[in-house]
Chains A and B, each alone.
Chain A
Amino acid sequence: MGRAELGLDRPRLTVADLLREAWLSLAGHPARSLLTALGTVLGAAAFVATLGLSSTLAHQVADSFDVRRATEVTARGARADAPSWQEPSALARLGRLNGVRVCGARVILPERPVSRSLGEGATPLQTQVSGVDAGALAVISPRVVLGRAFDSYHDTDAQPVVMLPAAVARGLGVHRVGVAVFIEDRPYTVIGIFDDVARRPEALVSVLVPYAVAQPMAALSSGEVKRDVVIETEPGAAQLVGAQAALALAPEDPARVEVVVPPDPRTLRQEIEGSVARLALVLSLVALGIGTVSIGNAATAGIVARTAEIGLRRAVGARPRHIFSQLIAETTLLGTLGGFLGAVGGIVITVVVALANGWQPVVDVTTALSATAAGAGAGLLAGLLPAWRATRIQPVVAIAR
């Protein structure tokens, strides 16, 4: 075909030379390159920051729900007298429900004076008193640091015993078990002191007495008496048990019982992540579009400014495909760099915002990588039209200028 006859090489451009040319073109006009890539930088930053902040927030949400509290269901009514839904038969029905580990009745009495002794010189503490049966005690699971917990004997026989929270014991000057404390004017034997509870944190400030002991106190109480049934469920069964508890406790009138179920942390987290992820997706699609258009526009405008350069390249032996690949390489490189810069910016934003709020920043590397890849894709896409246009430029323009 003539080339061999003249001893000519096939015009070629190695990949290394192509990338070097693209880089030289970009680095030779830093301001132009920066402006061109700006849309992609912002888009990638928005994408990474939105997703980073949403996972940081979701992490926070997950953190604030511990597993134990997620297995906690409470059923309560407003009536002060011992209601039928707190009776053993009702509790037995509830206990047979799938997912119920243990349940029990509790009666919470308004604050009343608790003291170490009676008479002059006694300094009573105004303290809430709760009556708990064996089941409720198991749900609350107080961590006993001294002495022991109640057993069914204390409950069924209405033994006058108390368990004191460590703070109350300290306030009363009780440092051992076996001593008496007075609730109002009646003595009770301290059999245990606890410093923590697994569930129902409000029990930490409440003197615990057996359920049967609290009943007559409730009958005589002037203030508001609260009653509830506390339930520990199997992990993940809280919602199910919550839906059935009222019917099991009060089949004749379930509306009398109000059931409180903890928010499901997984649902909550998914809700947050889902909505933020959708937002991030929309945001980043918009940003990606902006990035593509901005690179495309700048590249198209650049073609006019670079007509002489392209003509020169054609004159010194570039084939149209060399021109095409160089321009595509330039926009793709710009998009990649823009995406990378934006990803770094997004990470910085995430970390700064998280630290400013005292959160643990959660940054997903794949997010940053996909932002960079999206930038590259935007650059490639944006380059197609201007690169094709550039191939139409004839070498003769090198002379015409």
Chain B
Amino acid sequence: MSAALLTLTGIAKSYHDGAPVHALLPTDLRVDEGDYVSVTGPSGAGKSTLLNVLGLLDLPTEGSYEVAGVETVRAAESLRVAIRGQWFGFVFQSFALLAGRTAVENVELGMLYRAIPARRRRALAMAALDRVRLAHRAHADPRTLSGGERQRVAIARAIAASPRVLFCDEPTGNLDSGNTDNILDLIGDLHADGQTVVVVTHDSKVARRGVRHVHVADGIVREAPAAQRHQRGR
């Protein structure tokens, strides 16, 4: 049943800052429909680079990256923009909510650059807020929300238009342990409903929630045996 959603083949990323810096060594990775992948590794090991490449936020310097079989690295930027906006949802450590806008307006922002009429955007945003159990704070200014609530708004923004993949970058990095559990439960629920999830974290507690475990160190991407066993078991 599982189809390859994201396929990295020989993907590498290096920066030329005087001497070349290899942020990511040639990597193969496959993310299937319904996967819950957690990416761990020390700071600066390349896990953010991996997430940027996976999320089409940044281009690799070599290799091929196919999304549902369509090659993206050598495609036009507009294709990557379209995939990013319509297939991917992003949750950031810093929440990245815009001040001066209500929660629901922030959620709507995730659907702004799409052919979705304003009325429908509002309905989807309200449904997403309901999904993260924040419908009652829809018209609150994010500045009046707690950290956990802000991250739930950010998750609502990411999932409002039903993305194929939800990317989370240190989603609990700014949260206390109580809120961390809440957010992880929420992500777990989304996955249980079939959402493909990729979480990048340095927190092993967060990483344990994942079904597949990918570890990045010194630019080398390695999948943990447990996850491989899981993959084989499917």
Contact = CB atoms under 8 A, between A and B. Distances in A.
Given A2-B79, A309-B96, 16 more contacts: A1-B79, A2-B71, A2-B72, A6-B70, A8-B83, A11-B113, A13-B113, A24-B105, A27-B100, A28-B101, A29-B100, A313-B112, A318-B85, A398-B90, A399-B90, A401-B94
A316 B157 CA distance: 9
Nearest to A395: B57
A273 B56 CA distance: 62
A399 B168 CA distance: 10
A391 to B, nearest CB: 12
Which A-B residue pairs are the 3 nearest by beta carbons?
A317-B85, A28-B100, A317-B113
B87 A395 contact: no
B83 A6 contact: yes
Nearest to A21: B112
B115 A315 contact: no
A318 B81 contact: yes
Interface in B82-109: 82-87, 90, 92, 94, 96, 98-101, 105, 109
A16 interface: yes
B87 A12 contact: no
Interface string A364-401: 00000000000000000000000000000011101111
Interface in A258-290: none
A70 B40 CA distance: 94
Given A12-B115, A13-B113, A316-B113, A401 B78 contact: no
Contacts of B111: 316
Contacts of A12: 113-115
A399 B78 contact: no
Given A1-B76, A2-B70, A28-B99, A317 B81 contact: yes
Contacts of A25: 100
Nearest to A24: B101
B67 interface: yes
B52 A396 contact: yes
Contact of B90 (A2, A3, A20, A315): A315
A8 to B, nearest CB: 4
Contacts of A5: 68-70
Nearest to A10: B82
B35 interface: no
A3 B71 CA distance: 11
Among B67, B81, B110, max chain A CB count under 10 A is at: B81
Among A1, A3, A29, max chain B CB count under 10 A is at: A3
A143 interface: no
B55 interface: yes
20 contacts: A2-B72, A6-B67, A10-B82, A11-B82, A11-B114, A12-B114, A28-B101, A312-B96, A312-B98, A314-B81, A316-B90, A316-B109, A317-B86, A317-B112, A319-B77, A394-B57, A394-B58, A395-B84, A399-B48, A399-B169
A9 interface: yes
B19 interface: no
Contact of A11 (B75, B85, B90, B98): B85
Contacts of B123: none
A308 B111 CA distance: 18
Interface string B59-71: 0000000011111
Contacts of B101: 24, 28
Interface string B23-65: 0000000000000000000000000100110011110000000
Contact of A9 (B56, B92, B115): B115
B90 A9 contact: no
Contact of A2 (B75, B86, B98, B118): B75
A20 B147 CA distance: 27
A256 interface: no
Contacts of A316: 84-85, 90, 109-113, 157
Given A1-B79, A8-B83, A399-B51, A317 B114 contact: yes
Interface in A176-235: none
B52 A399 contact: yes
A6 B87 contact: yes
B86 A9 contact: yes
A401 B86 contact: no
Nearest to B48: A399
Nearest to A401: B94
A398 B114 contact: no
A1 B80 CA distance: 11
Among B51, B68, B113, max chain A CB count under 10 A is at: B113
A319 B169 contact: no
